[in-house]
């Protein structure tokens, strides 16, 4: 498809990185912002102060990279306007009713809700493996203490005084993503790809020795056993977020315009 019209929602670390790396054949048609935002957008890009603006933009794909409260309004509007919708703030999808509404909206408009792999890799293998029964999926998210600053982790351990890695949370994927929406969107992705929200076990670790954001996923089932290990460079513009999150969105967009999909 030539001339894919893309809308990004949010103009933070991920959105700006994606915009800077867009492949040929993609037009950044608009950016969704909060009303009154002073964000400085590239010339020719339409500022959208509300999701209603999507109706006149003929977008093919809307990518949300703003925050979990942006997922429902922008997602429903994008799908109703005839675009596919890809949310980065996948922690929002722990709300089962919201997920159902988005899927229903996609069905209604014959478009797709696309779950990007985000900071993860190997999601293709996990989603393929679940064609046969899975018995166990575990996801450990290990980040430097600074990446957990400003989250509930501060009340569960003393982030500034850690000398060793501390697992300050272990629970289901929906609990992890709902309680740590800035750091555990990936937990929802692992769960959606594999064993579901309730049966996917997530451990959150603050490690003073870590310089990268690591993701260790192990899965067992009738397919066999897999271990996925990533050590992602945090973005300088937001250390909670891995660079790979933006890169995987660039891949998602490239696969929409390139003659070969990989
Ligand atoms: N799926 C994954 O693997 C990952 C997902 N994420 C998630 O992706 C999202 C974006 O991350 P990142 O770019 O690092 O975050 P940033 O904080 O760098 O940027 C978020 C941007 O979105 C804007 N924004 C927030 N809420 C809204 C809204 N309701 N409408 C429009 N704009 C809004 C913010 O504007 P303002 O300055 O006005 O607040 C800011 O410009 C976050 O939810 C993050 O948790 C992050 C990493 C991995
Ligand atoms: O970027 C990462 O490594 C993961 C992350 O923040 C998230 O899932 O919210």
Domains of the chain, CATH where assigned: 4-114 (3.40.50.720), 123-240 (3.30.360.10)
Residue closest via CA to ligand 2's atom 5 equals 183
| pLDDT tens digit sequence for 171-199 | 999 999 999 999 999 999 999 999 999 99
| pLDDT tens digit sequence for 52-93 | 999 999 999 999 999 999 999 999 999 999 999 999 999 999
| pLDDT tens digit sequence for 126-176 | 999 999 999 999 999 999 999 999 999 999 999 999 999 999 999 999 999
What is the ipTM score, two decimals? 0.98
What per-residue confidence (pLDDT) applies to 197? 97
Residue closest via CA to ligand 1's atom 25 equals 66
Q: Note if 215 is an active site residue.
A: yes
Cα 220 to averaged position of ligand 2 atoms, centre (Å): 23
What per-residue confidence (pLDDT) applies to 1? 46
Contact 238, 245 (CB under 8 A): no
Residue 40: how many CB atoms within 10 A of its CB?
A: 6
- C-alpha 187/C-alpha 201 separation (Å) is 9
Give the 3-state secondary structure of residue 85.
strand
Atom of ligand 1 nearest to the CA of 10: 22
Q: Which residues are annotated as a binding site for NAD(+)?
A: 119, 185
Cα 236 to averaged position of ligand 2 atoms, centre (Å): 14
- DSSP element (H, E) containing 227: strand 224-232
- Protein residues with CB under 6 Å of any ligand 1 atom: 9-15, 32-34, 37, 65-70, 88-90, 118-119, 181-182, 185-186, 238, 241, 245
């Amino acid at each position: 498809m030539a001339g894919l019209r893309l809308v990004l929602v949010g103009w933070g670390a991920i959105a700006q990185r994606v915009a800077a790396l867009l492949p040929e054949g993609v037009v950044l048609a608009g950016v969704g912002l909060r009303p009154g935002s002073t964000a400085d957008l590239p010339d020719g890009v339409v500022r959208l102060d509300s999701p209603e603006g999507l109706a006149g933009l003929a977008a093919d794909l809307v990518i949300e990279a703003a925050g979990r409260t942006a997922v429902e309004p922008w997602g429903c509007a994008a799908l109703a306007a005839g675009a596919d919708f890809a949310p980065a703030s996948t922690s929002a999808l722990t709300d089962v009713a919201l997920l159902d509404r988005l899927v229903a909206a996609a069905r209604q408009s014959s478009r797709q809700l696309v779950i990007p792999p985000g900071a993860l890799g190997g999601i293709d293998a996990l989603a393929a493996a679940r064609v046969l029964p899975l018995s166990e999926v575990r996801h450990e998210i290990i980040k430097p203490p600074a990446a957990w600053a400003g989250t509930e982790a501060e009340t569960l351990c003393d982030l500034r005084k850690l000398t060793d890695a501390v697992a300050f949370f272990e629970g289901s994927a929906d609990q992890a993503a709902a309680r740590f929406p800035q750091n555990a969107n990936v937990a929802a992705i692992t769960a959606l790809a594999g064993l579901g929200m309730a049966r996917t076990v997530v451990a959150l670790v603050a490690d003073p020795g870590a310089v990268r954001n690591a993701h260790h996923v192990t899965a067992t089932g009738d397919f066999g056993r897999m271990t996925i290990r990533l050590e992602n460079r945090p973005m300088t513009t937001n250390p909670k977020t891995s660079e790979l999150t933006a890169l995987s969105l660039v891949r998602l967009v490239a696969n929409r315009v390139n003659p070969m999909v990989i």
